[in-house]
Amino acid sequence: MKILVAVKRVIDYNAKVRVKADNTDVDLSNTKMAINPFCEIAVEEAVRLKEAGTASEIVVASVGPKSCQEQIRAALALGADRGIQIETEDSPESLNVAKLLAKVVEEEQPELIIMGKQAIDSDNNQTGQMLAALLGMPQATFASEVSIADGKAQVTREVDGGLQTLAINLPAIVTTDLRLNEPRYAALPNIMKAKRKPLDVKTPADLGVELKQHTQLLKVTEPAERNAGILVSSVDELIEKLKNEAKVI
Protein backbone atom coordinates (compact mmCIF):
# COMPACT_ATOMS: atom_id res chain seq x y z
CA MET A 1 0.00 0.00 0.00
CA LYS A 2 1.24 3.43 -0.93
CA ILE A 3 0.66 6.31 1.50
CA LEU A 4 0.75 9.99 0.64
CA VAL A 5 1.46 12.40 3.49
CA ALA A 6 1.10 16.15 3.07
CA VAL A 7 3.19 18.42 5.28
CA LYS A 8 3.21 22.17 5.85
CA ARG A 9 6.06 24.48 6.81
CA VAL A 10 4.90 26.67 9.69
CA ILE A 11 6.26 28.73 12.57
CA ASP A 12 7.90 26.52 15.20
CA TYR A 13 5.33 25.90 17.90
CA ASN A 14 7.70 27.28 20.54
CA ALA A 15 8.37 30.52 18.66
CA LYS A 16 6.66 33.73 19.68
CA VAL A 17 4.15 35.15 17.24
CA ARG A 18 4.58 38.84 16.42
CA VAL A 19 2.02 40.94 14.58
CA LYS A 20 3.53 43.40 12.08
CA ALA A 21 3.36 47.05 13.16
CA ASP A 22 1.31 47.96 10.07
CA ASN A 23 -1.21 45.20 10.89
CA THR A 24 -0.92 43.59 7.46
CA ASP A 25 0.10 40.14 8.69
CA VAL A 26 2.19 38.22 11.18
CA ASP A 27 5.93 38.92 11.05
CA LEU A 28 7.77 35.68 10.25
CA SER A 29 11.16 37.22 9.42
CA ASN A 30 13.95 35.54 11.40
CA THR A 31 11.42 33.20 12.97
CA LYS A 32 12.26 29.56 13.49
CA MET A 33 10.20 27.42 11.11
CA ALA A 34 9.33 23.75 11.41
CA ILE A 35 7.11 21.00 10.14
CA ASN A 36 3.56 21.53 11.42
CA PRO A 37 3.18 19.32 14.55
CA PHE A 38 0.03 17.61 13.28
CA CYS A 39 1.77 16.90 9.94
CA GLU A 40 4.70 15.38 11.81
CA ILE A 41 2.25 13.03 13.53
CA ALA A 42 0.93 12.13 10.06
CA VAL A 43 4.45 11.25 8.88
CA GLU A 44 5.07 9.17 12.01
CA GLU A 45 1.83 7.25 11.51
CA ALA A 46 2.76 6.47 7.91
CA VAL A 47 6.22 5.29 9.00
CA ARG A 48 4.68 3.04 11.66
CA LEU A 49 2.34 1.54 9.05
CA LYS A 50 5.37 0.86 6.87
CA GLU A 51 7.31 -0.68 9.75
CA ALA A 52 4.31 -2.91 10.46
CA GLY A 53 4.38 -4.12 6.87
CA THR A 54 1.04 -2.50 6.01
CA ALA A 55 2.53 0.21 3.81
CA SER A 56 5.15 -0.29 1.12
CA GLU A 57 5.97 3.27 0.12
CA ILE A 58 5.54 6.73 1.67
CA VAL A 59 5.44 9.80 -0.54
CA VAL A 60 5.54 13.16 1.18
CA ALA A 61 4.24 16.31 -0.52
CA SER A 62 4.39 19.96 0.44
CA VAL A 63 3.02 23.09 -1.22
CA GLY A 64 5.04 26.30 -0.96
CA PRO A 65 8.27 28.10 -1.85
CA LYS A 66 11.59 26.26 -2.07
CA SER A 67 12.11 26.66 1.67
CA CYS A 68 9.48 23.97 2.31
CA GLN A 69 11.95 21.43 0.95
CA GLU A 70 13.48 21.57 4.45
CA GLN A 71 10.28 20.14 5.87
CA ILE A 72 10.08 17.51 3.11
CA ARG A 73 13.65 16.49 3.98
CA ALA A 74 12.66 16.37 7.66
CA ALA A 75 9.86 13.96 6.75
CA LEU A 76 12.25 11.89 4.63
CA ALA A 77 14.59 11.71 7.63
CA LEU A 78 11.72 10.32 9.71
CA GLY A 79 11.26 7.50 7.19
CA ALA A 80 9.33 8.71 4.14
CA ASP A 81 10.72 7.42 0.83
CA ARG A 82 10.48 10.31 -1.60
CA GLY A 83 9.23 13.88 -1.77
CA ILE A 84 7.24 16.15 -4.04
CA GLN A 85 7.41 19.92 -3.67
CA ILE A 86 4.70 21.88 -5.42
CA GLU A 87 6.31 25.23 -6.00
CA THR A 88 4.21 28.30 -5.19
CA GLU A 89 5.19 31.82 -4.23
CA ASP A 90 3.73 31.74 -0.79
CA SER A 91 1.43 29.51 1.17
CA PRO A 92 -1.79 29.28 -0.90
CA GLU A 93 -5.32 29.13 0.48
CA SER A 94 -6.58 25.75 1.66
CA LEU A 95 -8.84 25.13 -1.33
CA ASN A 96 -5.94 25.75 -3.72
CA VAL A 97 -3.73 23.41 -1.71
CA ALA A 98 -6.47 20.78 -1.81
CA LYS A 99 -6.76 21.13 -5.61
CA LEU A 100 -2.99 20.75 -6.05
CA LEU A 101 -2.89 17.72 -3.76
CA ALA A 102 -5.86 16.20 -5.57
CA LYS A 103 -3.79 16.16 -8.77
CA VAL A 104 -0.87 14.58 -6.93
CA VAL A 105 -3.24 11.90 -5.65
CA GLU A 106 -4.50 11.26 -9.20
CA GLU A 107 -0.91 10.80 -10.38
CA GLU A 108 0.36 8.78 -7.44
CA GLN A 109 -2.76 6.72 -6.70
CA PRO A 110 -2.07 6.21 -2.97
CA GLU A 111 -4.52 4.08 -1.01
CA LEU A 112 -4.24 6.21 2.07
CA ILE A 113 -3.61 9.93 2.49
CA ILE A 114 -2.63 11.14 5.95
CA MET A 115 -2.57 14.82 6.87
CA GLY A 116 -2.55 16.94 9.99
CA LYS A 117 -5.98 18.06 11.18
CA GLN A 118 -4.89 21.68 11.03
CA ALA A 119 -1.83 23.85 10.64
CA ILE A 120 -0.85 25.86 13.69
CA ASP A 121 -0.48 29.07 11.68
CA SER A 122 -3.82 29.57 9.92
CA ASP A 123 -5.73 27.16 12.23
CA ASN A 124 -8.22 26.47 9.44
CA ASN A 125 -8.76 22.73 9.93
CA GLN A 126 -10.09 22.19 6.41
CA THR A 127 -7.55 21.08 3.78
CA GLY A 128 -7.91 17.33 4.41
CA GLN A 129 -11.69 17.48 4.29
CA MET A 130 -11.58 19.59 1.11
CA LEU A 131 -9.20 17.14 -0.53
CA ALA A 132 -11.49 14.25 0.37
CA ALA A 133 -14.48 16.05 -1.13
CA LEU A 134 -12.65 16.93 -4.35
CA LEU A 135 -11.61 13.28 -4.77
CA GLY A 136 -15.00 11.90 -3.71
CA MET A 137 -13.22 9.91 -1.00
CA PRO A 138 -14.32 9.16 2.55
CA GLN A 139 -12.56 10.86 5.43
CA ALA A 140 -11.80 10.27 9.07
CA THR A 141 -10.70 13.46 10.77
CA PHE A 142 -9.11 14.00 14.21
CA ALA A 143 -7.79 10.43 14.36
CA SER A 144 -6.46 9.00 17.60
CA GLU A 145 -6.18 5.40 16.37
CA VAL A 146 -5.88 3.94 12.86
CA SER A 147 -5.92 0.32 11.75
CA ILE A 148 -6.01 -1.04 8.21
CA ALA A 149 -7.66 -4.31 7.20
CA ASP A 150 -9.64 -5.74 4.26
CA GLY A 151 -9.59 -2.63 2.11
CA LYS A 152 -10.86 -0.45 4.93
CA ALA A 153 -9.45 1.81 7.57
CA GLN A 154 -10.95 1.67 11.03
CA VAL A 155 -10.36 5.01 12.66
CA THR A 156 -11.14 6.24 16.16
CA ARG A 157 -11.82 9.96 16.16
CA GLU A 158 -11.63 12.52 18.94
CA VAL A 159 -15.01 14.22 18.96
CA ASP A 160 -16.63 16.63 21.44
CA GLY A 161 -17.57 14.62 24.49
CA GLY A 162 -15.73 11.41 23.65
CA LEU A 163 -14.56 9.09 20.89
CA GLN A 164 -16.22 7.90 17.70
CA THR A 165 -15.07 4.98 15.56
CA LEU A 166 -15.69 4.85 11.82
CA ALA A 167 -14.88 2.29 9.13
CA ILE A 168 -14.02 3.97 5.84
CA ASN A 169 -13.42 2.44 2.42
CA LEU A 170 -9.96 2.91 0.93
CA PRO A 171 -8.66 5.02 -0.67
CA ALA A 172 -9.40 7.56 2.03
CA ILE A 173 -8.12 10.61 3.85
CA VAL A 174 -7.23 10.52 7.53
CA THR A 175 -6.35 13.65 9.49
CA THR A 176 -4.40 13.35 12.71
CA ASP A 177 -5.11 14.55 16.22
CA LEU A 178 -2.42 15.03 18.83
CA ARG A 179 -2.66 11.72 20.58
CA LEU A 180 -2.45 9.48 17.52
CA ASN A 181 1.24 8.94 18.24
CA GLU A 182 4.37 10.62 19.50
CA PRO A 183 6.73 11.34 16.60
CA ARG A 184 10.28 10.02 16.87
CA TYR A 185 13.39 12.15 16.54
CA ALA A 186 15.28 11.71 13.31
CA ALA A 187 18.60 9.94 13.86
CA LEU A 188 21.66 11.62 12.37
CA PRO A 189 22.39 8.83 9.83
CA ASN A 190 18.76 9.10 8.64
CA ILE A 191 19.10 12.86 8.25
CA MET A 192 22.16 12.24 6.05
CA LYS A 193 20.35 9.53 4.10
CA ALA A 194 17.35 11.81 3.58
CA LYS A 195 19.52 14.23 1.61
CA ARG A 196 19.94 11.60 -1.09
CA LYS A 197 16.29 10.56 -1.32
CA PRO A 198 14.47 11.71 -4.47
CA LEU A 199 12.61 15.02 -4.32
CA ASP A 200 10.62 16.15 -7.37
CA VAL A 201 9.56 19.74 -7.94
CA LYS A 202 6.34 20.48 -9.78
CA THR A 203 4.48 23.68 -10.51
CA PRO A 204 0.73 24.26 -10.39
CA ALA A 205 0.90 24.49 -14.21
CA ASP A 206 2.52 21.02 -14.39
CA LEU A 207 -0.48 19.74 -12.45
CA GLY A 208 -2.96 21.72 -14.54
CA VAL A 209 -4.26 23.72 -11.57
CA GLU A 210 -5.00 27.41 -11.76
CA LEU A 211 -4.76 29.06 -8.35
CA LYS A 212 -7.72 31.24 -7.53
CA GLN A 213 -8.14 33.85 -4.80
CA HIS A 214 -11.16 33.24 -2.61
CA THR A 215 -10.37 35.40 0.39
CA GLN A 216 -8.58 38.62 1.14
CA LEU A 217 -6.72 39.27 4.38
CA LEU A 218 -7.81 42.76 5.44
CA LYS A 219 -5.77 43.04 8.61
CA VAL A 220 -4.09 41.20 11.43
CA THR A 221 -4.18 42.58 14.96
CA GLU A 222 -3.00 41.62 18.41
CA PRO A 223 -5.66 39.92 20.51
CA ALA A 224 -7.27 42.01 23.22
CA GLU A 225 -4.95 42.11 26.21
CA ARG A 226 -6.25 40.71 29.40
CA ASN A 227 -4.93 42.65 32.35
CA ALA A 228 -3.69 40.88 35.40
CA GLY A 229 -6.01 41.38 38.35
CA ILE A 230 -5.17 41.24 42.00
CA LEU A 231 -3.62 38.71 44.32
CA VAL A 232 -5.74 37.60 47.22
CA SER A 233 -4.17 36.35 50.40
CA SER A 234 -6.58 33.67 51.54
CA VAL A 235 -9.39 31.36 50.52
CA ASP A 236 -11.80 33.50 52.53
CA GLU A 237 -10.82 36.61 50.61
CA LEU A 238 -11.15 34.74 47.32
CA ILE A 239 -14.65 33.54 48.14
CA GLU A 240 -15.63 37.02 49.32
CA LYS A 241 -14.38 38.59 46.05
CA LEU A 242 -16.11 36.02 43.86
CA LYS A 243 -19.37 36.51 45.73
CA ASN A 244 -19.47 40.26 46.20
CA GLU A 245 -17.17 41.83 43.62
CA ALA A 246 -17.30 39.53 40.59
CA LYS A 247 -20.72 38.11 41.56
CA VAL A 248 -20.07 34.82 39.81
CA ILE A 249 -20.82 32.40 42.65
Partner 1 sequence: MAILVIAEHDNAALKGATLNTITAAQQIGDDIHLLVAGFNCQPAADAAAKVSGVSKVLQADNTAYEHQLAENLAKLVLELGRDYSHILAPATTTGKNFMPRVAALLDVAQISDITAVETGDSFQRPIYAGNAIATVKSLDAIKVITVRGTAFEAAELNGSAEISTVDSAEDLAISQFVSEEMAESDRPELTAAKVIISGGRGMGNGENFSMLEQVADKLGAAVGASRAAVDAGFVPNDMQVGQTGKIVAPELYIAVGISGAIQHLAGMKDSKVIVAINKDEEAPIFSVADYGLVADLFDVMPELQQKL
| CB nearer partner 1, residue 188 or residue 224 | 224
The HSE-up count of residue 77 (CA atoms within 13 Å, CB side) is 19
Rounded distance between C-alpha atoms, residue 160 and residue 55, angstroms: 31
Establish if 238 lies at the interface with partner 1 (CB under 8 A): yes
Query: Which of 187, 201, 205, 239 lies at the binding interface for partner 1 (CB under 8 A)?
Result: 239
Establish if 111 lies at the interface with partner 1 (CB under 8 A): no
Query: Which of 94, 101, 105, 174 lies at the binding interface for partner 1 (CB under 8 A)?
Result: 94
- CB-based burial of residue 46 (10 Å sphere; 0-12 exposed, 13-18 middle, 19+ buried)? buried
Establish if 129 lies at the interface with partner 1 (CB under 8 A): yes
Establish if 248 lies at the interface with partner 1 (CB under 8 A): yes
| CB nearer partner 1, residue 88 or residue 129 | 129
Long-range CB pairs of 22-27, under 8 A, 24+ apart, other chains included: 23/219, 23/220, 23/221, 24/217, 24/219, 24/220, 25/217, 25/220, 26/121, 26/220
Residues 34-93 that bind partner 1 (CB under 8 A): 93
Establish if 210 lies at the interface with partner 1 (CB under 8 A): no
Query: Which of 101, 132, 146, 194 lies at the binding interface for partner 1 (CB under 8 A)?
Result: 132
Rounded distance between C-alpha atoms, residue 205 and residue 202, angstroms: 8
Query: Which of 125, 191, 207, 211 lies at the binding interface for partner 1 (CB under 8 A)?
Result: 125
Establish if 19 lies at the interface with partner 1 (CB under 8 A): yes
Q: How many residues touch partner 1 (CB under 8 A)?
A: 76
Looking at 60-139, list the stretches that DSSP marks H as alpha helix, in order from N- to C-terminal side. 69-78, 94-108, 127-135
